Amino acid sequence: MTLTITNIKRIHADQSESITIENGKIKGWNLAPEGDTIDGQDATIAPAFLELHAHLREPGQEQKEDLASGLAAAAAGGYGTVVCMPNTSPVIDQPELVRALIAKATGLGQARLRPSAALTRGQQGDQLAELALLREAGAVMFTDDGRTNENARILRLGLEYAASLGLPVSVHAEDATLRAGGVMNEGPVSEALGLPGNPAAAEAARVARDLELCRLTGAHLHIQHLSTARALQLVREAKQAGVNVTCEVCPHHLLLTDESLRGFDTLYKVAPPLRTRADTQALLEGLQDGTVDCIATDHAPHTRAEKELDMLQAPFGIPSIEVAFALMYTHFEAQLGLPKLVDLLTAGAAQVMKWPAPTLDTGAPADLVLLDLHTERTVNPTEFKSKAKFSPWAGERLRGWPVLTVVDGKVAYRRE
């Protein structure tokens, strides 16, 4: 299959160019048009994004999301590759489940799936899963995300075992005993609302412990969805000391604070919780100085009925994979710049996984996205490809929308 995309611009250039794709690879730039032709309409081209933290809910929770809807949503968000989390039903802790997910996703023609697998059996935290078999089946990361790793010895063994296999262990770093029943950030807002709080110390204490295990083992630890200034500072100091740790932040922890919950709106209930403005500023500084390796979404779809429960009963999670880049570009292009934003979603994520950095060079895999950096569009959740058709940003006007996503040389998404 040959495809030529005309009238596009590279990030560092102003002139209009064309790119030709053939058999899943970039054939070259500014060649005579071949095959099907798409007018890029002056969009900016970038490598397709990499998502290291998404909940696609299959198997067992398909009423919330499934591979077809989740990977279509990812492609609509400009993502070419998605690492899904294993906290499904059943838990992805068996090689045959990994193989089945990969096989099903391959036939969908959407974003590419790279499953993570549970670090421990059933994500119960007391016995390691068959990590070598899971890696052989195609798992690219081990994590008990959705649960916290309370047993330090088991996590140590998991880090050592994963290191021997050349894969990272990612963790939801939060002390469950300090979090207790907290449903939002502990502070003046939670006190005013009379809701149980989750203190920043719950994250910082667990990050500190896990960093010590990382230092002890020399293994690669990836810390998910950092939300507090204190935990970020601990990571910064560990990196400066040479500890083999990476970390991610999510758009909602950069944009929203616990003030959003004053209306008791469960759309803003997420784990870890939305923190304070001082925390969001610290996380932005972590992106600017390189402490934060990549942006992830923690895309967490639920049914509307679940999210309409009260603050104590509604599940944690925000579905955001379709709006992530537009949110980041609209709100942070001035502070970070377009090249840095794209890097955090491509090369930064690839470096965490020790994958080759995505490029648009001749001969590279044809995974790319076209971005409309100028047209403002309204966030309309009813148009989401995800089954979770709600958003805390509904009605907001954003720029930077993906208009075309190509994965393995084939069009996975095209905005109407």
Question: Nearest-CA neighbor of 105 among 90, 84, 87?
Answer: 84
Could you tell me the CATH number of the domain that includes residue 305? Answer: 3.20.20.140
Q: Is the pLDDT of residue 11 over 90?
A: yes
Q: Contact, 199 vs 178, CB < 8 A?
A: yes
Q: CA-based diameter of the chain, in Å?
A: 66
Which pLDDT score, from 0 to 100, does residue 272 have?
98
End-to-end CA distance of the chain: 22
Number of domains in the chain: 1
The 10s digit of each residue's pLDDT in 271-311 is 999 999 999 999 999 999 999 999 999 999 999 999 999 99
Which pLDDT score, from 0 to 100, does residue 289 have?
98
Chain centroid, CA 54 distance in Å: 5
The 10s digit of each residue's pLDDT in 235-284 is 999 999 999 999 999 999 999 999 999 999 999 999 999 999 999 999 99
The percentage of residues in the chain with a pLDDT greater than 90, rounded to a whole number, is 98
Identity at 191, one-letter amino acid code: E
Tell me whether residue 22 is in a domain: no
Which pLDDT score, from 0 to 100, does residue 153 have?
98
Say whether 335 sits in a helix, a strand or coil: helix
Identity at 150, one-letter amino acid code: E
pLDDT confidence bin for 1, thresholds 50/70/90 = confident
Tell me whether residue 314 is in a domain: yes
Tell me whether residue 394 is in a domain: no
Tell me whether residue 395 is in a domain: no
Tell me whether residue 270 is in a domain: yes
Tell me whether residue 90 is in a domain: yes
Q: Is the pLDDT of residue 416 over 90?
A: no
Q: Positive or negative CA dihedral for 299, 326, 113, 172?
A: negative
The average pLDDT across 133-145 equals 98
3-state SS string over 100-166?
Answer: HHHHHHHCCCCCEEEECECCEHHHCCCCECCHHHHHHHCCCCEECCCCCCCCHHHHHHHHHHHHHHC
Range of the domain at 355: 49-359
The 10s digit of each residue's pLDDT in 93-128 is 999 999 999 999 999 999 999 999 999 999 999 999
Q: Positive or negative CA dihedral for 197, 200, 204, 210?
A: positive
Whole-prediction pTM value? 0.97
361 is catalytic: no
Which pLDDT score, from 0 to 100, does residue 160 have?
98
Which pLDDT score, from 0 to 100, does residue 59 have?
98
- Among 93, 258, 298, 367, the one annotated catalytic: 298
Question: Nearest-CA neighbor of 49 among 405, 299, 373?
Answer: 405
Tell me whether residue 91 is in a domain: yes
The average pLDDT across 320-324 equals 98
The percentage of residues in the chain with a pLDDT greater than 70, rounded to a whole number, is 100
pLDDT confidence bin for 146, thresholds 50/70/90 = confident
Tell me whether residue 121 is in a domain: yes
Mean pLDDT, rounded, of the chain: 97
The average pLDDT across 374-400 equals 98
* Count of C-beta atoms within a 10 Å radius of residue 311: 17
